[in-house]
């Protein structure tokens, strides 16, 4: 996971929220009735599409596992679940975008938002803040973990981020990084840290970019 810098919310969401009366803002249908979030409109680059804006904010990677996502293979995530936090269901600061490739699988094979469902994370793992995210670490075999037991519970029990298929992908990304480094000097490492800290010309972060930056910074120290 990496810190997500939220930009200005889509004008369609602002306008939609302004039309809803105070009495109806806690209705369970409020989010579902918001029309400007479809995959089709995202793919067609229709102005004001919520899904597209979230993808651009996050550099086209899942807010949890950091794998590549697009208009097609994504789902809009409520950090504070709709079920337990109705007042946040159309608040942009509570909306993120996650992968959907474990939909329809057994609970043991689900991960990220699909696995999380209506659960709330056990800590305030605010994806727009670095405080808790700085407590996340990675092992040589691709395991993601934290010495903070609450965060570690979120990682393993609620989000299932050490599912073997994701762990293997993280390990491959680490191995690819190591293989491309010819000289392990500070200048070379600093350049790679800069590369993986920003979006590319397509507005995308590299998959598992935060893990790669973490690994490189460990080498610099």
pLDDT of residue 194: 95
Determine, yes or no, domain membership for 5.
Answer: no
One digit per residue, the tens of pLDDT, for the chain of length 221 reads 888 989 999 999 999 988 887 667 667 788 999 999 999 999 998 999 999 999 999 999 999 999 999 999 999 999 999 888 888 999 999 999 999 999 999 999 999 999 999 998 876 666 777 777 888 999 999 999 999 999 999 999 999 999 999 999 999 999 999 888 877 788 889 999 999 999 999 999 999 999 999 999 988 76
pLDDT of residue 75: 96
pLDDT of residue 83: 86
Determine, yes or no, domain membership for 111.
Answer: yes
pLDDT of residue 213: 95
For the packed helices 186-197 and 209-220, what is the interaxial angle rounded to 10 degrees? 160
Determine, yes or no, domain membership for 6.
Answer: no
Determine, yes or no, domain membership for 49.
Answer: yes
Question: Tokens in use for 205?
Answer: 């972060």
Parent domain of 145: 11-220
pLDDT of residue 100: 96
pLDDT of residue 121: 86
Domain count, the chain: 1
Please measure the distance between the N-terminal and C-terminal CA atoms of the chain and give it in whole angstroms: 21
pLDDT of residue 218: 87
Pick from 65, 58, 76: nearest CA to 160: 65
Determine, yes or no, domain membership for 3.
Answer: no
Dist. CA 75–CA 80, nearest whole Å: 15
pLDDT of residue 72: 95
pTM: 0.92
Contact criterion met (CB below 8 Å) for 12 and 48: yes
Determine, yes or no, domain membership for 114.
Answer: yes
Determine, yes or no, domain membership for 1.
Answer: no
pLDDT of residue 221: 65
Determine, yes or no, domain membership for 41.
Answer: yes
For the packed helices 164-180 and 209-220, what is the interaxial angle rounded to 10 degrees? 50
């Amino acid at each position: 996971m990496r810190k997500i810098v939220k930009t200005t919310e889509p004008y369609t969401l602002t306008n939609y929220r302004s039309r809803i009366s105070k009495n109806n803002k806690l209705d369970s249908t409020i989010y579902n009735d918001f029309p400007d979030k479809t995959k089709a409109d995202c793919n067609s680059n229709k102005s004001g599409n919520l899904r597209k804006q979230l993808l651009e904010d996050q550099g086209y990677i899942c807010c949890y596992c950091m794998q590549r996502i697009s208009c097609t293979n994504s789902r809009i995530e409520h950090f504070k679940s709709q079920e337990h936090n109705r007042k946040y269901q159309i608040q942009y600061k509570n909306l993120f975008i996650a992968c959907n490739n474990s939909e329809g699988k057994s609970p043991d094979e689900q991960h990220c938002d699909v696995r999380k469902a209506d659960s709330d994370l056990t800590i305030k793992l605010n994806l727009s803040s670095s405080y808790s995210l700085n407590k996340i670490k990675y092992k040589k075999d691709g395991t993601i973990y934290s010495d903070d037991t609450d965060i570690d519970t979120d990682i393993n029990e609620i989000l299932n981020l050490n599912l073997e298929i994701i762990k293997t992908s993280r390990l491959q990304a680490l191995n690819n990084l190591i293989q491309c480094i010819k000289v392990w000097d500070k200048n070379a490492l600093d350049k790679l840290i800069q590369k993986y800290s920003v979006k590319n010309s397509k507005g995308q972060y590299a998959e598992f970019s935060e893990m790669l930056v973490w690994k490189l910074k460990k080498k610099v120290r």
